[in-house]
């Protein structure tokens, strides 16, 4: 049987701990594991890459030893890894975790992956790389506005919804329309229905902006102190070609420029800090748009255990399916929603 192209929501089968980068998700997740019989699934589009450890803030080995982690180190940096591949792997892992009588806990901050897990996703057809190359050449010649105008002709809703600079998703929308004869916005509409926070265990860590920026700056400085430049240099040495997806990782493209001699180290560090703050703002904007999310207010006085205790209490207070009545109870698995046709995912 072939790979699935649509994926149902996972809200009734898993918990989610999310938030912007540097918000402290990984450590709090392990604290939750001390109270719940759970396994952690990474909700991050960059930690799927082997060798990309420091720049992606991959959970430390000590944390991974305390609790089983999934969806880390799936492919090498020269390999594309699509949303469809992620979802197929994630759904298979959820099946296995639930089958062991444990709770799947997604931890991470990639907005597209979070939305796809909460509301479902239509992956569409595999990528047409020749078509993409042709469109990218047009983009270089005529700019993003011309690309947007072309998308307006075949998928006006996507043209309206996508950010003017989000050329990657505009190209994908053009590709889907060409390959299927149907706008991607029409295909995805079945998965746009939102749900209330009472219907899911979705918790987002929210820091005051100034404190989050301080945490980001400290994390970036620590990444460089721990050897980020050496990590990127080793990746470049061993993988002459880096996948387009991996090149989107903040920290790596900036260090590549440093290794090329186009910027100095101080400027590189400043750029990584600035780009990470921009990423955090985008993540926060996405999270505010998701009705399923319950926000956990953070400050420097709160301990990881305190935050974990609040999440557990909120779960007990929920009225929706899967409510826990004690710290050791698990949501009832929705066996009717398990996936079928598991196989190799399309590149979409």
Distance (Å) of CA 255 to CA 6, 232, 250: 37, 7, 9
Distance (Å) of CA 131 to CA 144, 281, 344: 17, 32, 22
Query: What is the spatial distance between Cα 237 and Cα 233, in angstroms, rounded to a whole number?
Result: 6
Give just the sign of the alpha carbon dihedral 9, 11, 15, 21: positive
Structure tokens at 215: 């945490």
Structure tokens at 209: 């902006």
Binding residues for substrate, as ranges, are 21-26
Query: What is the spatial distance between Cα 150 and Cα 130, in angstroms, rounded to a whole number?
Result: 18
Query: What is the spatial distance between Cα 230 and Cα 52, in angstroms, rounded to a whole number?
Result: 11
Strand locations in the chain, DSSP E? Answer: 6-7, 15-18, 38-42, 69-70, 103-107, 121-122, 202-206, 294-297
Binding residues, as ranges, are 19-26
User: What angle (nearest 5°) sits at the alpha carbon of residue 68, between those of residues 123 and 283?
Assistant: 45
Binding residues for ATP, as ranges, are 19-26
Structure tokens at 249: 């990782």
Residue 143 falls in which region: left (phi positive, over 0), alpha (psi -120 to 50) or beta: left
Pairing verdict, β 121-122 and 69-70: unpaired
Structure tokens at 224: 């460089």
């Amino acid at each position: 049987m072939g790979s699935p192209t649509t994926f149902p929501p996972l809200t009734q089968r898993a918990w989610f701990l999310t938030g912007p980068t540097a918000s402290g998700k990984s450590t709090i997740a392990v604290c939750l594991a001390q109270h719940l019989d759970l396994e952690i699934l990474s909700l991050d589009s960059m930690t799927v890459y082997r060798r990309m450890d420091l720049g992606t803030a991959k959970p430390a080995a000590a944390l991974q030893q305390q609790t089983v982690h999934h969806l880390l180190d799936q492919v090498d940096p020269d390999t594309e890894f699509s949303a469809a591949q992620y979802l197929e792997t994630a759904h298979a892992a959820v099946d296995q975790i639930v089958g062991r009588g444990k709770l799947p806990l997604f931890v991470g901050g990639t907005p597209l992956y979070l939305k796809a897990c909460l509301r479902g996703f239509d992956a569409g057809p595999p990528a047409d790389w020749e078509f993409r190359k042709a469109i990218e050449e047009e983009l270089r010649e005529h700019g993003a506005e011309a690309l947007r105008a072309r998308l307006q002709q075949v998928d006006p809703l996507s043209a309206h919804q996508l950010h003017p600079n989000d050329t990657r998703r505009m190209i994908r929308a053009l590709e889907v329309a060409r390959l299927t004869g149907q706008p991607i916005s029409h295909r995805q509409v079945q998965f746009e229905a939102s749900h209330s926070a009472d219907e899911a265990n979705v918790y987002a860590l929210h820091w005051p902006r100034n404190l989050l920026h301080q945490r980001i700056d400290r994390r970036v400085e620590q990444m460089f102190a721990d050897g980020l430049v050496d990590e990127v240099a080793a990746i470049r040495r061993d993988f002459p070609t880096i996948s387009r997806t991996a090149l989107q990782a903040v920290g790596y493209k900036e260090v590549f420029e440093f290794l090329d001699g186009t910027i100095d180290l101080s400027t590189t560090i400043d750029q990584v800090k600035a780009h990470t703050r921009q990423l955090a703002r985008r993540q926060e904007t996405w999270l505010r748009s998701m009705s399923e999310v319950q926000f956990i207010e953070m400050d420097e006085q709160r301990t990881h255990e305190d935050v974990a205790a609040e999440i557990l209490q909120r779960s007990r207070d929920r009225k929706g399916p899967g409510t826990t009545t004690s710290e050791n109870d698990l949501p009832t698995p929705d066996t009717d929603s398990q996936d079928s046709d598991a196989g190799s995912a399309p590149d979409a």
